[in-house]
Amino acid sequence: MVVALVVAAGIAITGTACSSSASKGDSGAKGGGNAADGVADGKPLDPNATVTITIDGAPGADQAANKATYADDLQAFKILYPNVTVNAKPYVGQIEDPPQFTAMLKAHNETGAFHAYFTDKNQVLDSGDAMDISAYVNDQTLPGFSQLLPGVKQNMQDEGKTYALPINYYTQGLIYNRDLFKKAGLDPDKPPTTWDEVQADAAKISALGGGITGYQDYSGGNTGGWHFASELDSLGGKMVSDDGKKAAFNSDQGKQVLSRLISMRKDGGIGAAPVPKWDAAFPPLATGKVGMFIGAPDVIQHLVEVLGADKNLYGLGPIPGASGPATGTLAGGDVYYFKKGLTPNQVKAEIAWIGFQYLTPSKGQFDFARAKALASSDKPVAIGLPQKFFWNVSSPQMTQIQADLKTSATLPIDQYQPFVANPIAPVLEPPAAQQIYKVLDTAMSAAMTDPGADPAKLLGTAESAVNQILANQ
């Protein structure tokens, strides 16, 4: 068995990649006189090249199933590139601890390819450690590169140069309980597309009683401010000025967000207790106590795989707007940056591995058939969510993915068609996002708990605090 062979050999754990003093925009690649280093010629890695690379992102000891499939993929990659050694280690702590990621950048001890969020772009580029890989990426070295969505490319690139490759991408939508819609006399195939409709539908769902809440929203743990940004974006508002130096949310759209929540709290559409942190939102969603919630498609994955919720309960629609589907929706995702100082062959090998594992239909994270085969009654697998799809819908990559889903989907993908049929333009998170979100937690909490809350006063106070944060960036 492939897994047994690779696990027996072990996934190599390594230290850090070499560093370079090259400035931003320099390729940072060594390509002098050593033929083994390779050449930055825009061609794929020579399968006969002997190369060792380092990368974070390997599943940890607490992820046995993911560790096994990752080992499978390393073995399959080894068949294509027999002389490439991939030294993989688990993520550095930014998954749970953003300050640890910042400390890694300051210490310049990243792996050759290192994981970051979309929102980390500025601090990664400012660190001087990110390598310009523009000369290496094209449709030959990374099939489908020219078909990547604009919303994905803008997070990989800066000033026309490419610094990273994507491994995850999402936009937010409206997750709703189809069963509660039916019980409230609403059409589960037609989720609300305006905030007026959300408010009206939420009141009807809450009227079912039994502790059911029509609409649920966040108020703490930085998630309140995060959802404020989501709802502001949906109305065409902005979190910060175009130059990123001033707060811009103290606007008519910002006041609409808070006023709507105050109104929904009064008419019963929102329950008495807003959600204080990220994971507290999911148990009531899983047990059928919440009618609607703003989130990315992977919320449904969490409900099904982690909490054992009924996969047929949930529909997914576009995030609502003022007069129809929103003009913009908060987007996010993950990328791999390349550390300066890599040789051309190391860059090519990193691209080859990342492309194989994360950007090839039917392989790696898109091996739906394998994921389905590993599912069991006590370990359900959610396959078929409209996320992690980086390419234009007409691209060969998306054509293959849709074909694979027809045979391997475990979720009722027809229930997500309102979301798929109404793509919304992505809006990036603001600079200093987590600090800004923390400030706006207070405004969101007040809007959902204080009937006398004043949106203008709440946003004025938050504006002053956020301007100070941005001034210190």
Q: What is the pLDDT of residue 8?
A: 29
The pLDDT confidence band at residue 2, using thresholds 50, 70 and 90, is very low
Is residue 353 very low, low, confident or very high in pLDDT (cuts 50, 70, 90)? very high
pLDDT reading at 32 higher than 70: no
Q: What is the pLDDT of residue 431?
A: 87
- Rounded to whole angstroms, the Cα distance separating 454 from 452 reads 6
Task: Report the run of H or E that residue 273 belongs to, with start and end.
Answer: none
Q: Residue 92: which pLDDT band, with cuts at 50, 70 and 90?
A: low
Note the pLDDT of residue 428. 85
Does pLDDT of 21 surpass 90?
A: no
pLDDT in tens, 439-470: 999 999 999 999 999 999 999 999 999 999 99
Please compute the mean of the pLDDT values over residues 36-40 and round it to a whole number.
93
Pairing relation of β-strands 290-295 and 173-177? antiparallel
Residue 94 pLDDT grade (very low, low, confident, very high; cuts 50, 70, 90): very low
What's the pLDDT score for residue 55?
Answer: 97
- pLDDT tens per residue, range 131-168: 999 999 999 999 999 999 988 998 999 999 999 999 99
Residue 33 has pLDDT above 50, yes or no: no
pLDDT at 15: 34
Stretch 203-231: mean pLDDT: 96
The whole-chain average pLDDT of the chain stands at 90
For the beta carbon of residue 116, count every other beta carbon within 10 angstroms. Answer: 24
Weakest-pLDDT range from 246-255, 269-278, 348-357: 269-278
DSSP for residue 324: S
Task: For the chain, give the percent of residues with pLDDT over 70.
Answer: 91
Question: At residue 35, does pLDDT exceed 90?
Answer: no
**pLDDT by residue (tens digit) across 390-423?**
999 899 999 999 999 999 999 999 999 999 888 8
Higher pLDDT, 46 or 11: 46
pLDDT at 97: 61
Poorest-pLDDT segment among 100-104, 145-149, 206-210: 100-104
Q: Is the pLDDT of residue 48 over 80?
A: yes
Asked if 328 and 61 touch (Cβ cutoff 8 Å), the reply is no
Residue 34 pLDDT class (50, 70, 90 cuts): low
Taking 90 as the threshold, does the pLDDT of residue 236 lie above it?
A: yes
Tell which wins on pLDDT, 63 or 416. 416
How many of the other CB atoms lie within 10 Å of CB of 307? 12
| pLDDT (average), residues 5-33 | 38
What's the pLDDT at 378? 81
Q: Which residues pair with 229 in a beta bridge?
A: none
Residue 27: pLDDT over 80: no
The per-residue DSSP string of 37-96 comes to: G---SS-PPPTT--EEEEEE----TT-HHHHHHHHHHHHHHHHHSTTEEEEEEPPPGGGT
For the chain, give every residue range classified as CATH 3.40.190.10: 2-162+333-358, 173-328+412-471
pLDDT at 61: 77
Class of domain 2-162+333-358: alpha beta
33 burial (CB, 10 Å; 0-12 / 13-18 / 19+) is: exposed
Paired sense of beta strands 161-162 and 329-338, if any: unpaired
Predicted confidence band of residue 7 (pLDDT cuts 50, 70, 90): very low
d(CA 465, CA 436): 8
* Amino acid 191: pLDDT: 98
Residue 208 predicted with pLDDT over 90: yes
| pLDDT at res. 181 | 98
Residues in CB range of 199: below 8 A, 6 or more apart: 215, 260, 263, 264, 267, 269
- Long-range contacts, 144-151 (Cβ 8 Å, 24+): 144/359, 144/390, 144/391, 144/395, 144/396, 144/397, 147/391, 147/392, 147/395, 147/396, 147/397, 148/390, 148/391, 148/392, 149/390, 149/391, 149/392, 151/331, 151/425, 151/426
Side chain identity, residue 385: L
Q: The domain at 173-328+412-471 falls in which architecture?
A: 3-Layer(aba) Sandwich (3.40)
- H or E element: which one contains 413? none
